[in-house]
Structure 1
Amino acid sequence: MQEFMVVFLSAFIALFLARKVAIKVGLVDKPNERKRHRGHIPLVGGVSIYMALWVMYIFDPAWLPDFSLYMVCATALLVVGVLDDRFDLPVLPRVGLQALVAGLMMYSGLYLISLGHVLFGYELFLGIFGYTVTLFAVWGAINAFNMVDGIDGLLGALSCVTFGALAVVFYIGGRHELAQWSLCLLAATLPYILLNLGVPWGLKFKVFMGDAGSTLIGFTVIWLLVLATQGKEAIIRPVTALWLIAVPLMDMVTIMVRRIRRGDSPFKPDREHLHHILMRAGLSSRQSLLAIVLAALFFAAVGIIGELSGVMEPIMLSAFLVIFVGYFWSITRIWRLLTWFRRSSDRHVAVAEKMEQRR
């Protein structure tokens, strides 16, 4: 418990110090047509989590396998992420750096060797293709968590769901040091969530995560998921990892496919993510946040329960794909569905009014 409190307080203090520096150097997010917040908001959530990582490293460098290498990768990602937040760098340098840190991961022996027994009970070994799949997994995780950073609290909350779920599976699997590390990551994220939501000081001290933070979180998640699913010390099956990041993963794939089908770049920003759609459907920002986080908790719980119950991997994968296809179908036809719901609601209101008049 002492470590968690120290990490929490360290991240909190780092937020307050970093936001002052950010305002002076122009590391702020300015409102525009796509970003409809008020005022210039410091982009320092990732900086605070990064500083908390160093506190965790000082506590015990052995908490995480290859902790020193991880910190080298995290430092590089944070520096380029901060530069991107400040100067809006082109895509190529960012993607290139992400490929470089993925290469360092693989050089240390941390890469996807197997996708589990998903082919009718047969294990799907990747062989030499494991390096390519790992590279795309790193890109995918980073972009998935970057893309969900659209409303207050969402990126932080979804990160906490994943870190919390990882803590559970690591603890059950006997990897207590990694469980503790995952909980410390959760503790490091909480101060950001509080200030991002305006708790308890309102908008005066509001902060955003920034691309530096979402990149750092996505990379950390994939690092932990590979640790959890690969090698002799694996404690969960690879298919379970899909359930632990279900919401960011499904949202990313769906939005990228929609953009490509329209002839746009898959990385072109828009306002068609799940949280945007829920808000257009009539939910408030906080209601959308709650709905999405509850869905993420549900998916993570399904994954953990399926893992502990020994549900066959093809069944777990099939269930995930069915949900994903349903999600994709719904999102790509969302406006028709919303129109149908509104007409249905209007009919119910009209019937109720007629019955009231008859009384």
Structure 2
Amino acid sequence: MNLTIQGGVMVGMAFAVAAGLVPALKGPARRWGLVDHPCHRKRHHGQVPLTGGLAMFLAFIAALMVNLSWLGPYLSLLVGMAVLLTVGLLDDLFDIRAMYKLMAQVLVATLMVYASGLEVNQLGRIFGLELGPIGLGPLSVPFTVACVVFIINAFNMSDGLDGLAGGIGMYILMLLALAGWLDGAEPSYVIICLVLAMAVMGFLVYNLQSPFRNRATAFMGDAGSMMLGFAVAWLAIALAERDTASVPPITVAWLLLVPATDILAVTLRRVLRGRSPMAADRAHLHHIILRCGFSVRNTVRLVHLAVLIAGGIGILGWRLAWPEWLLFGVAASIMAGYMLVLINAHRLMRWRLRRLRRQKTI
């Protein structure tokens, strides 16, 4: 079968299987108790099935069955996704301790490094041509593991609004596929990114608010967010660490800039306030936008747009050969600026609400 046709079949199958499985798993999920209940932090209506993660994974596997030869090079990806899916399902069912989830994340990240040889060896020329690429040496393995765990939790913590985490993952996967295609990556890499993106899109049919759907009828749960975060981290590192890769690490960082900036700022804020970095709160980017008076639908659109803009800047900067130190400096400035905004978020929200009240009185 022609590779292009084969890829099209796999992409279409991933979407169709995911879109079919989400409602099909609704009944079993209710019988097993795999549902999300409303609480002070979760303001949805009624019991919502947590079937998105399982549906996306099964759709991804079903699509890969079209070409079994691709399973070998991506075995650590599939095993890691399966482990985190299982741990996430157990957490969705029994609410397991955060430490156990963290241990599972470290385990799959370590497995990725030693089973597939994927690791971040250098940071590129982020301090200028004179210093050359900044190598990590013996720190490459712990740095890679930390990055993977960081991205997993970035996705887990971004799963706070209908369609938010799924959309972030889908757009980043599409950007990874685009960057891989532009860099001449193996067709399998590009197709796998698109297959997983379409599996996420099949879930988003039921999770993303639209003119035809006012609220989500399925969630991905911790199972889906951790699994998706790991897959994005695996594929992002694979893009930059290929033998023939010309994509600099800073471009990959730009693709992940929005979720990475959010979790870094929120974690720092919690630590400065003497709280646990894993403690839940309502200080994420989407919470701030919501409190400024935007609707859930528009908040999700703004965050998704930010992901696309950041990814576009990263890819454009790479293709136009912008200096890596410049891309690094701008990214670092954005992170620092967002941290300042988060610290002063209460002032920003008061200013925004005052403007809204003035507009209503005019």
Q: TM-score range by the shorter chain?
A: over 0.9
Matched, 1:47 2:58: no
Q: CA deviation at 1:340?
A: 3.4
Q: What code does the residue aligned with 2:327 have?
A: M
In the alignment, what sits opposite 1:77?
Answer: 84
Q: CA deviation at 1:16?
A: 2.0
In the alignment, what sits opposite 1:258?
Answer: 269
Question: SS at the partner of 2:65?
Answer: helix
Q: Which residue, out of 5, 9, 17, partners 1:2?
A: 9
- Would you say how many aligned residue pairs link Structure 1 and Structure 2? 351
In the alignment, what sits opposite 1:357?
Answer: none
TM-score, structure 2 length as denominator? Answer: 0.92
TM-score, structure 1 length as denominator? Answer: 0.92
Matched, 1:140 2:147: no
Matched, 1:11 2:21: no
Matched, 1:209 2:220: yes
In the alignment, what sits opposite 1:230?
Answer: 241
Q: How does 1:90-101 map to 2 (within 5 A)?
A: 90-101=97-108
Cα deviations by residue, 1:88-142 (Å, 9 ceiling, x for unpaired) = 1011221111111111111121111111111222111111100110110111010
In the alignment, what sits opposite 1:172?
Answer: 182
Q: Which residue, out of 320, 328, 348, partners 2:331?
A: 320
Matched, 1:31 2:42: no
Return the alpha-carbon distance in structure 2 between the equivalents of residues 170 and 25 of structure 1: 40
In the alignment, what sits opposite 1:242?
Answer: 253
For the aligned residues, what is the CA RMSD?
2.0
Q: Which residue, out of 111, 114, 126, partners 2:122?
A: 114
Return the alpha-carbon distance in structure 1 between the equivalents of residues 30 and 127 of structure 2: 53
Question: SS at the partner of 1:59?
Answer: coil
Q: What code does the residue aligned with 1:99 have?
A: V
Return the alpha-carbon distance in structure 2 between the equivalents of residues 169 and 116 of structure 1: 17
Q: Which residue, out of 112, 117, 131, partners 1:105?
A: 112
Aligned CA distance change for structure 1 residues 64 and 163 (closer, same or farther; 3 Å): farther
Q: What code does the residue aligned with 1:111 have?
A: E
Return the alpha-carbon distance in structure 1 between the equivalents of residues 118 and 199 of structure 2: 24
Return the alpha-carbon distance in structure 2 between the equivalents of residues 170 and 157 of structure 1: 20
- In our comparison, the structure showing a higher alpha carbon Rg is 1
Aligned CA distance change for structure 1 residues 112 and 17 (closer, same or farther; 3 Å): same
Q: CA deviation at 1:68?
A: 2.2
Return the alpha-carbon distance in structure 2 between the equivalents of residues 218 and 235 of structure 1: 24
In the alignment, what sits opposite 1:299?
Answer: 310
Identity of aligned residues (%): 34
Aligned CA distance change for structure 1 residues 56 and 15 (closer, same or farther; 3 Å): same
Aligned partners of 2:270 and 2:277 also within 8 Å: yes
Aligned CA distance change for structure 1 residues 23 and 343 (closer, same or farther; 3 Å): closer
In the alignment, what sits opposite 1:218?
Answer: 229
Q: What code does the residue aligned with 2:46 have?
A: G
Aligned partners of 1:246 and 1:296 also within 8 Å: yes
Return the alpha-carbon distance in structure 1 between the equivalents of residues 172 and 293 of structure 2: 27
Q: What code does the residue aligned with 1:196 have?
A: N
Q: Which residue, out of 20, 37, 43, partners 2:27?
A: 20
Cα deviations by residue, 1:142-195 (Å, 9 ceiling, x for unpaired) = 000111111101111111110110010111111232111111111101121110
Cα deviations by residue, 1:185-208 (Å, 9 ceiling, x for unpaired) = 111011211101356874797000
Deviates more, 1:286-295 or 1:228-237: 228-237
Return the alpha-carbon distance in structure 1 between the equivalents of residues 124 and 88 of structure 2: 33
Q: How does 1:146-185 map to 2 (within 5 A)?
A: 146-175=156-185, 176-185=187-196
Q: CA deviation at 1:345?
A: 6.3
In the alignment, what sits opposite 2:3?
Answer: none
Return the alpha-carbon distance in structure 2 between the equivalents of residues 151 and 273 of structure 1: 11
Q: CA deviation at 1:342?
A: 4.4
Q: What code does the residue aligned with 1:116 have?
A: G
Return the alpha-carbon distance in structure 2 between the equivalents of residues 342 and 212 of structure 1: 36
Q: CA deviation at 1:2?
A: 2.2
Deviates more, 1:110-119 or 1:134-143: 110-119
